[in-house]
Amino acid sequence: MSVKHAISRGLQLGRSVLQLGFLKPAARVAAKFRGERLRVGPPARTAQPQTFLPARYRYYRVSLSGLAAQLQSNGFRRLLGAGSPRNRAVFLAFGLGLGLIEQQLEDDRRSTATCQEIQALFRKKKFQSPLKSFTSGYKLEDYIIGRQIGKGCNAAVYEAAAPFAVPREGEKCSLVELRSGGGDKQEDAGPLRCRSVTSYPLAVKMMWNIGAGSSSEAILSSMCQELVPAGSQAVKEESAVVALNGRFGWAPRRVSAHPNVIRVYRAFTAEVPLLPGAQEEYPDVLPTRLNPMGMGNNRTLFLVMKNYPYTLRQYLKVSVPSGREGSMMVLQLLEGVDHLCKQGVAHRDLKSDNVLLEFDSGGCPRLVITDFGCCLAERDCGLQLPFTTRCVSRGGNACLMAPEVATAVPGPGMVIDYSKADAWAVGAISYEIFGQPNPFYSLGPDGLDSRRYQEKQLPPLPASTPTDTQLVVRLLLRRNPSKRPSARVAANMLHLSLWGGRALAYQDRASMKKMADWLLCQSAVVLLKGCGLGGSSVEAELQKCFLANLDLEDLRTAMGFLVFGREQQRAVLPN
């Protein structure tokens, strides 16, 4: 029973006690006052109106422990003296119950204080970029552009290098197989061979500008969503004023650095150059000076980011991660989504093509969320989007729209809540991570539509998938968002499953003292290993994220989901 529920039940019981034990005395007191008013002549003493509340119940205004002590004392006194058996039992039970509530509140206060101390400690540890900081790079001429490494529906991505931006010593910055000796041909590197290559540590994303105009102000205001993951020095000061302090729609939220969210180092406008493969790959979006049949404008927006070797989709085509690695990959996506939600940003276009991947020093995949062109990041809306007409965009990738978004009907006062929409998309992507086809991409009788599917139609995950991870995926794909866990709660479930141990996972969800003790031990282990000082391993980053986002109620909710799910599984398994 939660503390709020226990207090509510206690108040109801207390109200019943007052009505049963003091209704008749109150009536007699009221009759006495009425009789005094009917007397002729002035009364001997003027009575001031008082609220009827026995003295012993005024302790409730001070503390639950004081009220519990009074009720227990009166219960024993009535037990030895006069009073009906019913009143004696009620007084004693209510007093003991309030005493237990007070004890539980005291335990929760201590656990909350422990969580806050741990959270404050790990939030001081800033996420560090794998690249050395640089102060220039606001012009396209500052970069050496290499080959094209990606292309989407609104941009092309090229590998790049700059003399002022070099990787930190000992860090793996990129695993892209680069041509050696400056030749045009590149040898086939084979399936995912990890090599530390630093020739092109950066990636330049060139947006396609068809209708935004050629002025820097128009470009920045039209493509401002791409600046959501930009750093504090990504845009020059004179340009930042235009992009960040304009009218509604010009000023997106800016998210802070996170190991599972892409970071934009530089953003600037420049003339569109004729890059390798442009005439063959995207001739229609080129300006007329480069292609007479092109429809693009002369200038566009360029974004400079870290170079990642693969998208998640490319990696999963040739590799199936183990159960533990897959769980950690799902956990990284949930941590990234939770970070965005806490800062009022909904990505709205999560898919395996918009997740980039590299490997840490131990070979574990590290995932980052990228491509914020469809995100909801308005300062005046947060995660609530007014949906008054069909002209309002609900986001990209209709196949992976959460049910509450896909089924929304525009109308007066209609609002779409995106607070759990990205978490639902993570649940759908989890099928791809564990080697299964995404059921919401499939065509034919086995394919599912997010607008009308039933939860019992969801295909099972492979038997090699950890049980708790299967539970998390099922919960994330619930149709009703009120019954779906948030990204933070789902991430906590996986944290507890991965590092909490079997004994911790079977703890009673109301007993948080042992949980607080385990959190203190976990914090000490992370700090002793140096993970709290910016460790480079994926596991270290995840543990740091977990400890930096501790919340007592979220932990209790996660524990409740785990306990309930395991009890259900034990009930299904044969004896």
Q: What is the pLDDT of residue 14?
A: 57
More confident residue, 116 or 467: 467
On the question of pLDDT at 40 being above 50, the answer is no
Q: List the one residue out of 405, 381, 410 whose CA is nearest residue 394.
A: 405
Q: What is the pLDDT of residues 502-557, one digit of tens each?
A: 545 445 544 666 777 778 888 888 887 765 444 468 998 999 999 999 888 888 88
Least confident of 162-176, 210-224, 474-488: 162-176
Q: What is the pLDDT of residue 35?
A: 47
- C-alpha 468/C-alpha 471 separation (Å) is 5
C-alpha pair distances (Å), 55 with each of 7, 93, 125: 21, 20, 52
Q: What is the pLDDT of residue 106?
A: 62
pTM of the model: 0.77
Least confident of 69-83, 409-423, 454-468: 69-83
Q: Which residues contact 389 (CB under 8 A, 6 or more apart)?
A: 410
Distance of CA 48 to the CA centre of its chain: 57
Q: What is the pLDDT of residue 181?
A: 35
On the question of pLDDT at 60 being above 70, the answer is no
On the question of pLDDT at 59 being above 60, the answer is no
Percent above pLDDT 70 for the chain: 67
* Domain residue spans of the chain: 3-31+50-111, 140-180+187-307, 358-572
> For the chain, what's the residue count?
575
On the question of pLDDT at 123 being above 70, the answer is yes
C-alpha pair distances (Å), 134 with each of 72, 78, 109, 166: 69, 78, 45, 9
3-state helix, strand, coil in the chain (%, to 5): 45, 10, 40
Q: What is the pLDDT of residue 553?
A: 86
Residue 425 binned pLDDT confidence (cut-offs 50, 70, 90): very high
Q: What is the pLDDT of residue 253?
A: 79
Mean pLDDT of 185-202: 52
On the question of pLDDT at 194 being above 80, the answer is no
Q: What is the pLDDT of residue 173?
A: 41
Q: What is the pLDDT of residue 122?
A: 81
On the question of pLDDT at 78 being above 70, the answer is no
More confident residue, 466 or 189: 466
- C-alpha 500/C-alpha 493 separation (Å) is 10
On the question of pLDDT at 91 being above 60, the answer is no
More confident residue, 5 or 516: 516
Residue with tokens 């009221």: 30
Q: What is the pLDDT of residue 300?
A: 95
Q: What is the pLDDT of residue 160?
A: 93
Supply the mean pLDDT for the chain: 77
Q: List the one residue out of 538, 495, 122 whose CA is nearest residue 368.
A: 538
Q: What is the pLDDT of residue 570?
A: 72
Q: What is the pLDDT of residue 568?
A: 79
Give the single-character DSSP code of 456: G
Mean pLDDT of 404-412: 94
Q: What is the pLDDT of residue 243?
A: 46
On the question of pLDDT at 61 being above 90, the answer is no
Q: Which residues contact 405 (CB under 8 A, 6 or more apart)?
A: 394, 395, 416, 418, 421
Q: What is the pLDDT of residue 366?
A: 95
Q: What is the pLDDT of residue 342?
A: 93
The strand pairing partners of 386, in sequence order, are: 415
| Domain 358-572, second-level architecture | Orthogonal Bundle (1.10)
Q: What is the pLDDT of residue 182?
A: 37
Radius of gyration, CA atoms only, the chain: 31
Would you state the structure tokens that stand for residue 88, as one six-digit string? Answer: 């004696």
More confident residue, 364 or 7: 364
On the question of pLDDT at 329 being above 50, the answer is yes
Q: What is the pLDDT of residues 288-305, one digit of tens each?
A: 999 999 999 999 999 999
Least confident of 196-205, 325-334, 463-472: 196-205
349 is catalytic: yes
> How many other β-carbons are positioned within 10 Å of the β-carbon of residue 72?
18
Percent above pLDDT 90 for the chain: 43
Main-chain phi, psi angles of 367, to 5 degrees: -110, 145
On the question of pLDDT at 400 being above 50, the answer is yes
Note whether 140-180+187-307 and 358-572 share their fold: no
For 408-452, the DSSP string reads ----TT-EEE-TTHHHHHHHHHHHHHTT---TTT--STT---TTT
Which of 108, 338, 349, 371 is catalytic? The answer is 349
Strand ranges, E, within 178-247 = 202-207
Would you state the structure tokens that stand for residue 205, as one six-digit string? Answer: 């994303």
Q: What is the pLDDT of residue 509?
A: 46
Q: What is the pLDDT of residues 125-175, one digit of tens each?
A: 666 666 667 778 899 999 999 999 988 889 999 999 988 776 654 444 433
Residue 44 binned pLDDT confidence (cut-offs 50, 70, 90): very low
166, 132 contact by CB (below 8 A) = yes
| Domain 140-180+187-307, second-level architecture | 2-Layer Sandwich (3.30)
Q: What is the pLDDT of residue 470?
A: 96
Q: What is the pLDDT of residues 233-272, one digit of tens each?
A: 888 766 555 444 443 334 567 899 999 999 999 999 999 9
Main-chain phi, psi angles of 332, to 5 degrees: -65, -40
